[in-house]
Structure 1
Amino acid sequence: MDEKGERPPKKFKVQSRHRSLWRQFWDSEGVLLIDYLPKGTTMNGQYYANLLAQARETVVQKRRGKLSRGVLFLQDNASVHTARVSRQALKDTGFSKIDHPPYSPDLAPSDYFLFPI
């Protein structure tokens, strides 16, 4: 119960001033690479192509031998992923692309069995 003459507590609205875009690359053993897009930078085909090259180097460093056994790569059909430079970079990495399934509200991409036994 409030005392007579007391002011009610102030309510503060919490706002995030920093919105950031990040990409995460992971496999069955855990996270390989997290990339935060610098503020004021636009994600485009060339940026993504450079990121794919960085992901390949990370696989080579953190998962020795996995690249020679084959890496399956799942991505959606966003314009950044379908840009000519991005498609060429994906070929250059040696990753095998998995076709993205049609949208299903029942399943998230991480619900699929991505890692062969």
Structure 2
Amino acid sequence: MSIFVPNKVYLRGILLHYFIQKKSAAEAHRILVQTYGDNALSDTTCRDWFRRFKNNDFELEDKERSGAPKKFQDKELEQLLDEDPSQTLSELGKILQVDESTVSKRLKGLGMIQKQGHWVPYELKPRDVERRFGTCELLLQRQKRKGFLITGDRYRLQLMCLSRTLKEKRPLYAQRHDKVISLHDNARPHVAKPVKTYLETLKWEVLLHPLYSPDIAPSDFHLFRSMAHGLADRRFHSYEEAQKWIDSWIALKDMSFFRRGIHVLPERWEKVVSSDGQYFK
């Protein structure tokens, strides 16, 4: 019995279908992996094609390439970083169809550096410095006034599922006036209107978080940084395999690990304030 092996154009057609269905590139990639396994397109390739579709480029066949090196505009690179500032040089190079050194030089020219795995401006604009300083100052005042209790940073869990679980496992949850204090960054899914509206219905408090500040996000400076060590040289062959490893890794961490990442926040806020909003070492 022959086994169907999809070609690139066939898979791109499926991506276009999911794009029209208003699914995200990540959702489309996950479905492809579940269906076609090792024959699926990579996550980076899926995001690249979704970006083309958003620019009204629906041609699924490979375009003829000339012998001249591929060129791209700064705004293309800036758009990719705006969509996901955690992309690696390799991922950016594949999307833009250039080598890593070309991307690295262009990033340097744009004044971008990596902090906690995120591309951020080497020199913050005055308004960004002021925002970091003001936000951390307000957070420190809040911490002194109300004490320190932040639940979360595992934002990957769906909010509805988290709320339901809290109601099931903590009978007094609905009676507590402070309920949940959420801290997440400014990634588009986190600040989307449906998410904000749902958080308002839950009456959860969302802490302020300034732009270009992975150094004061526990998920970046603590959780993902630690996870990266465990992921070194590890390869996964399916979405389920990766999910199983992550679930196991989190389950093996005791509560003190997560508390450390949260309880060090006031110290980091103070460093931002003492640095007048600039990045600290």
Which range, TM-score by smaller chain? 0.3 to 0.5
TM-score, normalised with respect to structure 1:
0.46
